[in-house]
Amino acid sequence: MVNKMAQILCRDVALGYEGKAVIQHLNFEVNQGDYLCIVGENGSGKSTLMKALLKLKAPMSGEIRMGDGLEADGIGYLPQQTVVQKDFPASVQEIVRSGCLGRFGWRPFYGRKEKEAAAEQMEKLGITRLAGRCYRELSGGQQQRVLLARAMCATRYMLLLDEPVAGLDPVAVQEMYELLEELNRKEKITIIMVSHDLHAAVAYADHILHISEEPLFFGTKEDYLKSGIGKAYLSATGGGRIV
Ligand code: ADP
């Protein structure tokens, strides 16, 4: 039997700044179609790991290997929204199309392929009617759909999301989770999500990576729920948010 390579294989990785490790002994793998939630307290290193997965930061030691057709520039990334992004003065269509820049190579104008890819993703995410609207005039939930469509233009394989529901109202939060679940189930898009919402993490994800001072936990959701660290964090947060 051919042993298929994981999309991401992280082996004994240490990450940190100026020679000081933030995360050590990190071991996990992500396969096509997985839905992985990364949880942990503030400052535990979740964003640092995101940067490493996007190859914006090299490990201090260990190895992060990409396989199964995946390259770091083939990952669709949905960053945490900043105030500046919320005020971005561009149309929805322009923002979604800009997600195609890495995938189809740099060109001064968008070609037919980029336009079609952007239109397809806007349709999929139910925002075609917003195409000509200015991004900053949209609701938080609509803005996240636009950024999701943009990230989907950049990948056929994997979405990396940093706190995608932060600041959204409860209805928009639910819609966002349902959209991601659909992309994962129907399109087999791998999802890696940093989340503070432990309740949602255990509801939707199939794997959990819990980053803490050690021991770290990586495994299936079912094993996390049975583990000491999983039980402790779930009871400490009432199944809710880690702060
Ligand atoms: P999280 O996303 O889990 O809140 P971060 O990855 O942002 O955690 O940060 C992990 C640790 O690394 C924190 O102690 C933070 O202060 C430190 N850190 C983050 N970015 C830098 C940086 N650019 N230079 C030095 N230390 C940093």
One digit per residue, the tens of pLDDT, for the chain of length 243 reads 445 789 999 999 999 999 999 999 999 999 999 999 999 988 899 999 999 999 899 999 999 999 877 776 678 888 887 655 667 778 999 999 988 876 655 556 677 888 899 999 999 999 999 999 999 899 999 999 999 999 999 887 899 999 999 888 999 999 999 999 999 999 899 999 999 888 888 899 999 999 987 768 999 999 999 998 888 888 877 655 554
Asked if 52 contacts 160 with a C-beta cutoff of 8 angstroms, the reply is: no
Q: β-pairing, 61-66 with 8-17?
A: antiparallel
pTM above 0.75, yes or no: yes
Distance (Å) from CA 106 to ligand 1 centroid:
32
Distance (Å) from CA 188 to ligand 1 centroid:
31
Asked if 127 contacts 150 with a C-beta cutoff of 8 angstroms, the reply is: no
Which residue shows structure tokens 């820049």? 101
- Nearest-CA residue for ligand 1 atom 25 is 17
CA gap 27, 64 in Å, rounded? 9
Distance (Å) from CA 23 to ligand 1 centroid:
10
CA gap 195, 212 in Å, rounded? 14
Query: Candidates 13, 38, 41, 47: which one to mutate for ligand 1, based on the most atoms within 8 Å of Cβ?
Result: 47
- Nearest-CA residue for ligand 1 atom 23 is 17
Q: Is 43 in the pocket of ligand 1 (CB under 6 A)?
A: yes
Q: Is 40 in the pocket of ligand 1 (CB under 6 A)?
A: yes
Q: Which atom of ligand 1 is nearest to the CA of 41?
A: 3
Helices (H), 91-236: 92-98, 112-124, 140-153, 170-187, 198-204, 221-226, 228-236
Distance (Å) from CA 29 to ligand 1 centroid:
23
Q: Is 196 in the pocket of ligand 1 (CB under 6 A)?
A: no
Supply 222's token pair: 């079912």
Asked if 125 contacts 145 with a C-beta cutoff of 8 angstroms, the reply is: yes
- CA 135 from chain centre, in angstroms, equals 21
Distance (Å) from CA 136 to ligand 1 centroid:
29
- Nearest-CA residue for ligand 1 atom 26 is 17
Residues 6+ apart with CB under 8 A from 71: none
Contacts 24+ apart (CB under 8 A), 55-61: 57/15, 59/13, 59/14, 59/15, 60/14, 60/15, 60/16, 60/19, 60/21, 61/12, 61/13, 61/14
CA gap 29, 64 in Å, rounded? 9
